A and B are shown apart, each in its own frame.
Chain A
């Protein structure tokens, strides 16, 4: 019964303007705002209960780790970095697509970003939260985790080593998290004002009034706002490239064969964008279906993201090939051993070839328009890509470490149940944050979509585009 009224309510609000196929400004406000205004659906509580329990499991695992010690993980000599760093790099990488969409595509004036940027930025933020857990808990004594930062205190009595890339990483990730949060909030303010002005209850009005800081959309406001947005996009662009570059320095500045390579920074950045876009596709496919915003997040958006996945997947494949070529061409026996023996045919061969299958082969299907515009197919590929990208980080870490220079200190990394449950738990946290985000905040940048429509109104093909967009097709006469 609840299901019916909810759907009916949404349908009544949405289908009318869609039937005529030409959404106006008010329709956009309505379509996006209504998501957070309808009565909370029973399924939302079910979703929250599931994701919340998984997050709770992560909490228990972390508590167990803190009271017992990092020995509860599978990390041990010679594999001193296990799933903690794998998962940290995995989550940080996921975040990169959000910044790419919000900043780099903005600077390149890619109009299609407007419908998905809010969602992708939220993903960035939540992924950084998940990533940030790992450095905090893997330090051994997490109650001393603030020693990572140069905060004067009576216990440490010394200063951090600024010559270490690990400290650069602390600065890179915390700057990235902070700037992403600010960028996201700045984008939200005008839309929070929209929700404030639509609020029916006093409590709702008050909370959005506080959150929107009294925004009133004056020309002066917009002038400074647009400037700030442009500057933040300009700052975030090199920032996002720097983050995974610095993460890769954690490996590249060491002398370990398989890590000590100059290809790492661009290779890591491409992989990050690759996995991040795959995650946006996974989440967007679900969200546009649940919240019925298919007319705002159209097939064109999904197809464009799939094209980015294809392009970055090819870059990643090229990087894998280059690593092998250099290992052979350098004539360094340790380097060739890591690639030709440890990775391709050693005890981790299964991880290496899973990675190649998922990351290099699976995106190639997107060369075909039929496949990259097929929603179930792209959903499956996007998940496969993320499995592959997780394996990439695992392969880099485990294969380079497990066979030390002396055969007497060789080993094999096996995750414990704490490793596995903590990792699953981070997905619970990620999804819980999303469950809250999609319930309470505008999941599409209302103001930006309207601004884009207004700009499009001055173009000849506006009507064609709007009709086509509302039907989920490409605009008539648009370049293919």
Chain B
């Protein structure tokens, strides 16, 4: 129990996405709840298998888009009709017709900022270090390894038993990684 605070979890390193998916399903069935999978590319259906909640990024983007839209309208109205009204070819000082291209562009721009920076923020990036990088085979994850980590915080976690469990699922390698 004493060293539990310094241990991040048990790594199970698999050869193929299918093995990883089976291991995730088995782990969920065996009652493990604190799981994280690490893969070189997104795997279809992995979120369902891990019962992960859908990404909230869409809401972030909608909010940012709304801000962009508001800025675009206020900017064009205030500069043209309030701060510096200037008659140009008899056109109105402000009208939605001519304002639409910039409303569109700024909405898209701010939405894209929301999507990109929101994604990084939700993923906790940039990050200087993560316990996963203590795993001796971490380099394989961005190549062709499929890793399942059962975290030490899991109430069912027990170094020996969890290792047994992962090996039984066909893990090519297991390793205890520190915090």
Contacts and interface: CB of A to CB of B under 8 A. Distances in A.
A338 B67 CA distance: 45
Interface stretch (B37-45, B152-160, B161-169, B171-179): B37-45
Contact of A29 (B57, B89, B101, B143): B143
Contacts of A227: 55, 57-58, 119
Contacts of B80: 159, 161-163
Nearest to A158: B84
Interface residues of B, number: 63
B143 A25 contact: yes
B6 interface: no
Contacts of B120: 213
A225 B42 contact: yes
Which of B50, B80, B98 has the most chain A CB atoms closer than 10 A to its own CB?
B98
Interface string A262-294: 000000000000000000000000000000000
B66 interface: no
A81 interface: no
A210 B128 CA distance: 9
A135 to B, nearest CB: 15
A319 B66 CA distance: 37
Interface residues of A, number: 62
Interface stretch (A340-348, A350-358, A377-385, A444-452): A444-452
Given A163-B88, A214-B130, A227-B58, A235 B115 contact: yes
Contacts of B144: 24-26, 29, 450
Contacts of A216: 38, 130, 132-133, 138, 141
Nearest to A195: B142
Nearest to A186: B116
Contacts of B128: 214
A167 B102 contact: yes
B91 A232 contact: no
B114 to A, nearest CB: 8
A231 B83 contact: no
A324 interface: no
B26 interface: no
A207 interface: no
B101 A225 contact: no
A197 B42 contact: no
Given A226-B42, A231-B57, A448-B41, A178 B109 contact: yes
Interface string A190-233: 10011011100000000000100111111111111111100110
Top 10 A-B pairs, shortest CB-CB distance: A228-B119, A25-B144, A451-B41, A159-B79, A213-B126, A197-B139, A214-B127, A222-B42, A168-B101, A194-B142
17 contacts: A25-B40, A150-B79, A168-B105, A194-B40, A196-B142, A197-B138, A214-B126, A217-B141, A219-B47, A221-B125, A222-B39, A222-B46, A224-B55, A226-B42, A231-B61, A235-B111, A235-B112
Interface of A: 24-26, 29, 150, 158-165, 167-168, 171-172, 175, 178-179, 182-183, 185-186, 190, 193-194, 196-198, 210, 213-228, 231-232, 235-236, 238-239, 242, 246, 249, 447-448, 450-451, 454-455
